Structure 1
């Protein structure tokens, strides 16, 4: 049901893309805080938490596709035992983008738990076909608030399969064959986005007080 592309950051220039909290209007809703460590569902602990900006944001699908990811629901990862690196997930519709911008402003304003760092946003299509102009315009607001946006389009295959049947991307995987189909391998664009995510995590993990980037290798 989805295809992935990435958008470069529009206007955030500093290395850690954090705005001055005094300049951020964070008057919207607040996400909960998860105090428990994130679960390890595969061979290795998760490297990134997928945080939904709203219900139905696709966190479980994204976390299934990307082996280094864990589904954190609609809560910030508050435990320092497991990763506090975050990808915010939202549907590519006006309500989804508004909720996503609220989560991003919340983080910029310093209202997320200490240690949380956002590495990007993943937007999943709300329907097949072209994106309406108002949605495209508000997507630019989200792009101004984060380092990178991965946009997931519509793939009919996901409608026909259980979550447990989906293929999984891991950092050591070779690029899938051009004609591969679920559940044999993740789609090629999902693979590319996963590879880009690993690059973003590598850069983030080089920051002060972070695990070394060698730990991303399985």
Structure 2
């Protein structure tokens, strides 16, 4: 139960944010994600800024992409079309099977098995049940964090989701103010969802700033 990763110094042939593919044990072919060739859906006024990829069934991609208005649901497939974003946030349940599936997706990407152009922004783990996360899960989560350089965000258990339709959920957009505490999910997104959406947006903005000087030749 480990992520099979060795960190080496960056080399010119390794893309930013990725580990050297030679240090990665990639998942067997039957455990790899499929590829989505069609463009991602645009459900709002602008094309999606990032895609949410489910590491396994029931990872919560539909709920997360409803909450984050600037995202799109790519199901369990890597987005291969260059017509829409190829920035990916991987989603998983906060349990051993969920984290193991997330590690498979991350090792695929680091190992060069995801479609060309895909960039993994980070990992979102949603609570698998109410209450405290078992110690074994927390320990394994810390191992998987190494595969996303610590870019991992947790979503708590929200009981109200059991009785809510997706279309009734409030949405988060970049620059939205923090929501009030103890508010209905139809009125505002939960604080942890707002916090994760803000952090993902900031991480993407920071990566753009790092790329811009190189693109301009300065």
User: Same fold by TM (over 0.5)?
Assistant: yes
Gaps of 5+ in 1: 1-10, 213-218
Secondary structure, aligned partner of 2:185: coil
Q: Name the residue aligned to 2:25.
A: 25
**Structure index of larger Rg:** 2
Q: Name the residue aligned to 1:167.
A: 170
Q: What TM-score do you get using the length of structure 2 for normalisation?
A: 0.86
Q: Name the residue aligned to 1:106.
A: 108
Structure with greater contact order relative to length (CA < 8 Å, sep ≥ 6): 1
CA distance in 1, matches of 2:133, 2:125: 12
Q: Cα RMSD over matched residues? A: 2.0
Tell me if the contact between 1:33 and 1:113 (Cα under 8 Å) persists in the aligned partners. yes
Tell me if the contact between 1:12 and 1:144 (Cα under 8 Å) persists in the aligned partners. no
CA displacement 1:42-81 (0-9 Å, x = unmatched): 1111010000111110011111111111000000000011
Shift of 1:12: 9.3
Tell me if the contact between 2:154 and 2:192 (Cα under 8 Å) persists in the aligned partners. no
Secondary structure, aligned partner of 1:206: helix
Tell me if the contact between 2:52 and 2:74 (Cα under 8 Å) persists in the aligned partners. yes
Secondary structure, aligned partner of 1:82: coil
Which of 149, 153, 164 in structure 2 is aligned with 1:150?
153
Give the count of matched residue pairs: 200
CA distance in 2, matches of 1:174, 1:199: 15
Shift of 1:100: 0.4
CA distance in 2, matches of 1:151, 1:178: 17
| C-alpha spacing 1:206/1:89, structure 2 compared with 1 (3 Å) | same
Gaps of 5+ in 2: 1-6
Q: What TM-score do you get using the length of structure 1 for normalisation?
A: 0.86
Q: Name the residue aligned to 1:177.
A: 180
Which of 72, 80, 104 in structure 1 is aligned with 2:74?
72
Shift of 1:179: 4.5
CA distance in 1, matches of 2:154, 2:191: 14
Q: How does 1:75-154 map to 2 (within 5 A)?
A: 75-147=77-149, 148-154=151-157
